[in-house]
């Protein structure tokens, strides 16, 4: 039981990280996490993803520059006010220093179809699952990331010279969290708001039907005409 609650506490302690320590990531840890990410379930087991590992500072700087151009547009006119309001708790702006600070940038591409034109199925779902596996694995080995989505992300295909069948999906800076980094306070829904026991719903619906029938019966019984 203790092990289970430790596991829950540990997984729930994962937070997105937007500041990284100047500490390199051991190759074997990165490769272990990538192996786990690439073992995720996928439609017809097509594994329709490509992870591009970027370490070189010139390419990271180029990616940062292009991302900040899109992010500037986003925060200064492109995003509807409601979206900006929803993001306010994160206290973000167009500046993305973490894209250069992080020792590794992983760029995840979704393969719309195979390199030779083969069919892929449920690409979005599959690539999202692989990213989830990756993020959990990184957390397990003490590494951190943030799923960064500057929009549009076409610049990543260009900078990294990716083929036409691949579409940028996520930009993931990876490293150890900076000692001074504190993730913003977030509010979360309760488990009951997100998870529903189907049988309990059926029971509640049935009870309501019985209650409705009973009140119909009592209305009939109380009729005086």
Ligand X SMILES: Cc1cc2nc3c(=O)[nH]c(=O)nc-3n(C[C@H](O)[C@H](O)[C@H](O)COP(=O)(O)O)c2cc1C
- Scanning 27-35, 50-58, 109-117, 144-152 for contacts with ligand X by CB under 6 A, the matching segment is 144-152
Q: What angle do CA 89, 60, 27 make, to 5 degrees?
A: 95
CB of 68 to ligand X, least distance (A): 12
User: Taking CB under 6 A as the rule, does residue 129 contact ligand X?
Assistant: no
For residues 138 and 170, is the Cβ–Cβ distance under 8 A? no
Residue with tokens 């892929």: 120
- Scanning 47-55, 104-112, 116-124, 143-151 for contacts with ligand X by CB under 6 A, the matching segment is 143-151
* Contact positions with ligand X (CB under 6 A) in 149-188: 149, 183, 186
User: Taking CB under 6 A as the rule, does residue 21 contact ligand X?
Assistant: no
Residue in 15, 113, 167, 178 binding ligand X, rule: CB under 6 A: 15
| Contact residues for 20 (Cβ-Cβ < 8 A; gap 6+) | 98, 101, 102, 103, 144, 173, 175, 176, 177, 178, 181
Q: What angle do CA 7, 9, 10 make, to 5 degrees?
A: 65
CB of 108 to ligand X, least distance (A): 11
User: Taking CB under 6 A as the rule, does residue 148 contact ligand X?
Assistant: yes
CB of 200 to ligand X, least distance (A): 28
Q: Are strands 104-111 and 49-54 parallel, antiparallel or unpaired?
A: antiparallel
User: Taking CB under 6 A as the rule, does residue 60 contact ligand X?
Assistant: no
Residue 210, Cβ neighbours under 10 Å: how many? 10
For residues 67 and 148, is the Cβ–Cβ distance under 8 A? yes
- Scanning 99-107, 118-126, 146-154, 206-214 for contacts with ligand X by CB under 6 A, the matching segment is 146-154
Helix H, strand E, coil C: the string for 127-146 is HHHHHHHHHHHHHHCCCEEC
User: Taking CB under 6 A as the rule, does residue 136 contact ligand X?
Assistant: no
User: Taking CB under 6 A as the rule, does residue 92 contact ligand X?
Assistant: yes
Comparing CB distances to ligand X, the nearer of 30 and 172 is 172
Number of residues near ligand X (by CB under 6 A): 11
Q: Are strands 104-111 and 144-145 parallel, antiparallel or unpaired?
A: unpaired
CB of 28 to ligand X, least distance (A): 25
User: Taking CB under 6 A as the rule, does residue 146 contact ligand X?
Assistant: yes
User: Taking CB under 6 A as the rule, does residue 32 contact ligand X?
Assistant: no
Cα 86 from chain centroid (whole Å): 17
Q: Using CB under 6 A, list all residues that contact ligand X.
A: 15-16, 18, 90, 92, 146-149, 183, 186
């Amino acid at each position: 039981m203790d092990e289970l609650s430790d596991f829950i506490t540990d997984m729930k302690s994962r937070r997105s990280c937007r500041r990284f320590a100047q500490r390199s990531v051991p190759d074997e840890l990165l490769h272990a996490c990538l192996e786990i990410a690439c073992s995720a379930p996928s439609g017809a087991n097509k594994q329709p993803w490509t992870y591009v590992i970027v370490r070189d500072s010139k390419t990271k700087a180029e990616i940062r520059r292009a991302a900040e151009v899109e992010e500037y547009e986003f925060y200064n006119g492109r995003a509807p006010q409601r979206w900006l309001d929803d993001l306010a708790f994160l206290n973000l702006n167009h500046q993305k220093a973490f894209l250069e600070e992080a020792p590794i940038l992983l760029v995840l591409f979704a393969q719309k179809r195979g390199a030779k034109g083969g069919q892929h199925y449920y690409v979005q779902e599959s690539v999202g699952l692989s990213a989830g596996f990756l993020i959990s694995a990184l957390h397990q080995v003490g590494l951190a990331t943030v799923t960064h989505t500057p929009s549009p992300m076409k610049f990543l295909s260009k900078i990294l010279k990716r083929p036409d069948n691949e579409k940028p999906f996520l930009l993931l800076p990876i490293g150890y969290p900076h000692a001074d980094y504190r993730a913003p306070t977030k509010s979360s829904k309760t488990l009951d708001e997100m998870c529903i026991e189907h049988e309990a719903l059926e029971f509640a619906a049935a009870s309501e039907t019985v209650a409705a029938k009973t009140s119909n019966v009592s209305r009939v019984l109380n009729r005086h005409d």
